[in-house]
Amino acid sequence: MSTPSLDHLDQLDKKSQAWSALFSEPMSELVKRYTSSVTFDKRLWRADIAGSLAHADMLAAQGIIGPQDLADIQRGMAQIHSEIQGGTFEWKLDLEDVHLNIEARLTTLVGDAGKRLHTGRSRNDQVATDVRLWLRDEIDATAALLDDMQRALVFVAAQHVEVILPGFTHLQVAQPVSFAHHLLAYVEMFSRDAERLTDLRKRVNRLPLGAAALAGTSYPLDRERVARTLGFEGICQNSLDAVSDRDFAIEFTSFATLVMVHVSRLAEEIVVWMSQNFGFINLSDRYCTGSSIMPQKRNPDVAELARGKSGRVVGHLMGLITLMKGQPLAYNKDNQEDKEPLFDTVDTVKDTLRIMAEMIGGEIAADGSRTGGLTVKKEAMERAALRGYATATDLADYLVKKGLPFRDAHEVVAHAVKTAIALGQDLSELPLATLQGFDARIGADVFEVLSLTGSLNARNVLGGTAPVQVRAQIERHRARLG
């Protein structure tokens, strides 16, 4: 190992030194704090080391650095890896970002080989590579959580195929649906989110390294080799684009925004369902909080926070889009601002999916059993479905089947509902003679039609709420999710 010698990084390492020989005065403390990113981008350290090792391996294979340099770099990086993991690595604000911190430490540890690592590379292609590598892993973790969320919903749905609640439009009672059917609507939403994630992963998983600062490099780099080593599916084909665009981060955040919007809708329903005025469900105590003043309170804070946290992800999407807009080619320091919103988006969407899946489907024990999921108050749901004339459409459909044009049937039923409201009764509670007063075609078989189960069973169309359809959907999802 050669003796480490002073270079600009060592210089920077000593507070109040200028960047390089070009500079005649050091950066002010305020500027240092304002421009540095190490406090947050140190999170990229694993990706930064992996990217550097792949670059060094390629430089050696191409004869740009020697085998001893490569061995020194590998040895130094192994030590840095364990220092960071063990919490003994000293992150220095003076070294601005994760890249310079790691490179300076490498040079301290292994000398000249450390100073050769940056050959044919710039922090511009380095940071774009790091963020993509980091995000790729987070995408895979997020995909697994999206699957868990869907499994939790399918699990609860499977137990409530015959449990009926009012389906709403305009939040007014519309038609009876099963609780399973209602939950499976969210499974559809999350499965589309998962499709979006799979699709965007391909575009994240492309290699910027080799673009160098912006124009490519004069060294005979083998970009394919680096891409293979790092598991990239493709290579960014234009160096200016490679270092400058952050559309992949925007795409992920856009995906995350839709996930959070879907979560937020579900969270809102949970809050409403748990309210005493609905009383459709209960949540386990472990997901509720009390009030410091009102002893009777049990609040669905987790659901409320999930709903609220959608706001910050929407905000991050706006932030990232605005950050990109109007940037001239190629790299601009503006792009350093991509990290905090992206990191927070990943953290928020992962935590939210995890906690919501658990609150709904329960915590999964080692043997696969679930405990602590939401409980359903079947009677309250059915009572609510009976209260709002949810089967009025069924009566109209019944009359259509007896030969009445639909518009006329609609009118007949409106009269029947008006009468039932005046009597304070459900349609199914009106005597047959009263019903026949609205249309002589009505027979005793109408009562099956007016029942909640009759209504549910009647909607036996692909995608409908009939139990036979819902069971088929549950099987489809189970086969898909494993």
Q: Which span (46-54, 123-131, 135-143, 420-428) binds ligand ARG, by CB under 6 A?
A: 123-131
55 counts as catalytic: no
Q: What are the backbone angles phi and psi of residue 289, rounded to the nearest 5°? A: -130, 160
- Nearer to ligand ARG by Cβ, of 72 and 97: the residue is 97
Shortest distance (Å) from residue 261 CB to ligand ARG:
29
Please report how close the Cβ of residue 85 comes to ligand ARG at its closest, in angstroms.
Answer: 22
Reply yes or no on whether 170 is catalytic: yes
In terms of CB distance, is 99 or 262 closer to ligand ARG?
99
How big is the chain, counted in residues? 482
Which residue type, as a one-letter code, is found at position 343? F
What string marks each residue from 305 to 334 as x (binds ligand ARG by CB under 6 A) or -?
Answer: --------------------------x-x-
Report the sign of the C-alpha dihedral through residues 232, 238, 242, 246, in that order.
negative
With respect to ligand ARG, which residue has the nearer C-beta, 124 or 310? 124
| Beta-strand relationship, 206-207 and 363-364 | unpaired
Q: What share of the chain is helix, strand, coil (3-state, %, to 5)?
A: 65, 5, 30
Closer CB to ligand ARG, residue 127 or residue 356? 127
DSSP letters of 227-271?
Answer: HHHHT-SEE-S-HHHHHH--HHHHHHHHHHHHHHHHHHHHHHHHH
Restricted to residues 325-384, the positions that interact with ligand ARG (CB under 6 A) are 331, 333, 335-336
- What minimum distance in Å lies between the beta carbon of 219 and ligand ARG? 19
User: Residues 48-87: x/- map of binding to ligand ARG (CB under 6 A)?
Assistant: ----------------------------------------
∠ CA 336-223-85, nearest 5°, is: 55
Catalytic residue of the set 2, 82, 291, 415: 291
Task: Give how far Cα 277 sits from Cα of 94, 197, 272, 353, 408, Å.
Answer: 58, 38, 8, 27, 35
Site for ligand ARG in 2-41 (CB under 6 A): 37, 41
Angle at 257 between CA 98 and CA 193, to 5 degrees: 105
> Whose Cβ is closer to ligand ARG: residue 57's or residue 97's?
97
Rounded to the nearest whole angstrom, what is the least distance from the CB of residue 223 to ligand ARG in the complex? 19
The residue to which tokens 């399918």 are assigned? 154
Query: Exactly one of 170, 218, 292, 369 is catalytic; which is it?
Result: 170
- Only one residue has tokens 């209260």, namely 387
Nearest distance from C-beta of residue 336 to ligand ARG, angstroms: 4
Which residue lies nearer to ligand ARG by CB, 33 or 228? 33
358 touches 152 (CB < 8 A):
yes
Binding part of the chain for ligand ARG, among 17-25, 121-129, 219-227, 455-463 by CB under 6 A, reads 121-129
For residues 201-260, which are near ligand ARG according to CB under 6 A?
Answer: none
**How many other CB atoms are there within 10 angstroms of residue 275's CB atom?**
12
Q: Which residues between 91 and 120 bind ligand ARG (CB under 6 A)?
A: 97
Among 55, 116, 123, 206, binds ligand ARG (CB under 6 A): 123
What number of chain residues touch ligand ARG (CB under 6 A)? 10
Residue ranges that bind ligand ARG, judged by CB under 6 A = 37, 41, 97, 123-124, 127, 331, 333, 335-336
Active site residues: 170, 291
